[in-house]
């Protein structure tokens, strides 16, 4: 099957704007994506005449809104009024795409290149190290972020990897939990680094500082590798994506607060993160008896809760109509523009810092 547009691919428009692809399900004539970098002759990313500044400072809803405002003023053709999701989001028409950047191709090119800078070298070494320990073939890995589009700054850029396929992603997740002791090259963030991160993160999410730390410590996909920060992001391959854009129609029904028990977190590591839930009790807002899913577009809440765990949620209630099966039910969405950054998913804090 041909390679489609996957989560965390990048696309460059005819104007030179750089967007990062969101999710794996897109309209037939567009690609859903966030504006990430804009050309800027004095920008900190890139070299020579190809320099950029960040449009999306953090992967959060509040900062996404800033990019939508920018596009509305400068490039309104990249705003998309979705009749499927009933929201206005950023999406790039296929005929406006100058280049499609694929993480696995970029990593393959780096591996075949002799002259690499510090960040590129670390990206290659880290992916090869994880590949050896996990048994996942190197072809399943990629490099995303600023390294993918070749505008990283060796002085401060991090390494952001992708791993494709659900089974591969689960293998890498399991491997990273043991590699710190076995390899001696990978480690979790130390207390100083965590505190530094918490200073900014506590302003992004509507949680108490201790709650942010509890959630953060459950993230398996971040750490340090030989002095450089890294992240790894799970992605689906095309054969794992059965749904097409428009198969399900979403209707907003306001902001709600609720408790729920996680039935399955198998797909919570992807973007958007999906939790199957049961025993849902809405405590504030429109009460419905058929909430089946919690879905998060805030990566911070992806893969942080386990099957059988009770969680507290605030998010946008959506009525879903499945056009294939004619089923109608509800989900709660975290990461909507309507919530204005007030939404969250809180695991049962009685479990403390542990994550089974």
For the stretch 315-354, pLDDT in tens is 999 999 999 999 999 999 999 999 999 999 998 765 544 4
State mean pLDDT over 96-104.
Answer: 98
Q: In whole angstroms, what is the distance from residue 159 CA to residue 192 CA?
A: 20
Q: In whole angstroms, what is the distance from residue 110 CA to residue 123 CA?
A: 9
| For residue 193, pLDDT beyond 90 | no
Q: In whole angstroms, what is the distance from residue 351 CA to residue 241 CA?
A: 33
| Contacts for 171 with CB less than 8 Å, ≥ 6 apart | 134, 135, 136
Q: In whole angstroms, what is the distance from residue 323 CA to residue 341 CA?
A: 30
Q: What is the largest CA-CA distance in the chain?
A: 60
pLDDT, tens digit (0-9, with 9 covering 90-100), for 25-58: 999 999 999 999 999 998 898 988 899 999 977 6
Lowest-confidence segment of 9-13, 50-54, 108-112, 120-124 by average pLDDT: 50-54
pLDDT, tens digit (0-9, with 9 covering 90-100), for 153-180: 998 999 999 999 999 999 999 999 887 7
Angle, helix 209-217 to helix 191-201, in steps of 10 degrees: 120
Q: In whole angstroms, what is the distance from residue 349 CA to residue 347 CA?
A: 6
CB 262 within 8 A of CB 305: yes
Q: How many CA atoms lie within 13 A of 252 on its CB side?
A: 16
Q: What is the pLDDT of residue 353?
A: 41
Q: In whole angstroms, what is the distance from residue 117 CA to residue 112 CA?
A: 14
pLDDT, tens digit (0-9, with 9 covering 90-100), for 280-305: 999 999 999 999 999 999 999 999 99
Q: What is the pLDDT of residue 208?
A: 86
Angle, helix 166-183 to helix 118-134, in steps of 10 degrees: 100
| For residue 114, pLDDT beyond 60 | yes
Q: What is the pLDDT of residue 174?
A: 93
- For the chain, domain boundaries: 10-101, 103-238, 247-351
Q: Which fold, 247-351?
A: OB fold (Dihydrolipoamide Acetyltransferase, E2P) (2.40.50)
| For residue 188, pLDDT beyond 70 | yes
| For residue 356, pLDDT beyond 60 | no
Q: In whole angstroms, what is the distance from residue 217 CA to residue 330 CA?
A: 30
| pTM assigned to the model | 0.93
| For residue 132, pLDDT beyond 50 | yes
CB 212 within 8 A of CB 253: no
CB 348 within 8 A of CB 309: yes
Run of H or E including 293: strand 291-296
Q: What is the dihedral sign for C-alpha 232, 197, 58, 346?
A: positive
| For residue 61, pLDDT beyond 90 | no
CA nearest neighbour of 106 among 162, 30, 190:
162
Q: In whole angstroms, what is the distance from residue 63 CA to residue 79 CA?
A: 16
Q: In whole angstroms, what is the distance from residue 347 CA to residue 301 CA?
A: 10
pLDDT, tens digit (0-9, with 9 covering 90-100), for 211-256: 888 888 899 999 999 989 999 999 999 999 999 999 999 999 999 9
Q: What is the band of 181 on the pLDDT scale with cuts at 50, 70, 90?
A: low
Report the length, in residues, of the chain. Answer: 356
2 DSSP assignment: -
Cα angle vertex 4, ends 231, 331, to 5°?
70
């Amino acid at each position: 099957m041909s390679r489609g547009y996957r989560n965390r691919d990048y696309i460059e428009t005819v104007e030179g704007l750089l967007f990062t692809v969101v999710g794996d399900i897109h309209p037939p004539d567009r690609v859903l994506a966030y504006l990430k970098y804009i050309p800027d002759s004095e920008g900190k990313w890139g070299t020579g005449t190809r320099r950029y500044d960040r449009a999306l400072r953090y992967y959060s809803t509040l900062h996404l809104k800033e990019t939508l405002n920018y596009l509305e003023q400068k490039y309104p053709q990249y705003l998309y009024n979705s009749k499927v999701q009933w929201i206005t989001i950023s999406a790039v028409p296929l005929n406006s795409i100058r280049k499609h950047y694929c993480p696995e191709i970029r990593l393959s090119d780096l591996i075949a290149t002799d002259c690499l800078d510090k960040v590129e070298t670390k990206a290659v070494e880290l992916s090869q190290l994880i590949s050896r320990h996990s048994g996942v073939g190197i072809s399943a890995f990629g490099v995303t972020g600023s390294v993918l589009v070749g505008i990283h700054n060796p002085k401060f850029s991090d390494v952001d990897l992708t791993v494709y396929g659900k089974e591969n992603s689960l293998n890498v997740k399991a491997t990273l939990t043991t590699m710190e002791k076995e390899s001696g090259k990978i480690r979790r963030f130390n207390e100083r680094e965590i505190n530094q991160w918490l200073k900014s993160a506590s302003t992004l999410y509507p949680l108490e500082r201790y709650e942010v730390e509890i959630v953060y410590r459950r993230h398996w996909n971040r750490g340090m590798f030989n002095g450089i920060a890294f992240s790894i992001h799970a992605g689906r391959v095309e054969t794992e994506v059965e749904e097409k854009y428009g198969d399900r129609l979403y209707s907003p029904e306001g902001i709600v607060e609720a408790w729920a028990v996680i039935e399955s977190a198998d797909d919570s590591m992807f973007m958007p993160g999906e939790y199957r839930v049961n025993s849902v009790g809405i405590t504030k807002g429109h009460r419905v008896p058929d909430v089946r899913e919690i879905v998060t577009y805030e990566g911070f809440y992806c893969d942080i809760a386990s099957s059988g765990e009770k969680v507290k949620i605030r998010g946008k209630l959506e009525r879903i109509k499945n056009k294939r099966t004619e089923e109608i039910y509800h989900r709660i969405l975290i990461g909507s523009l309507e919530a204005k950054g007030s939404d969250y998913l809180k695991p049962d804090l009685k479990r403390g810092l542990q994550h089974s």
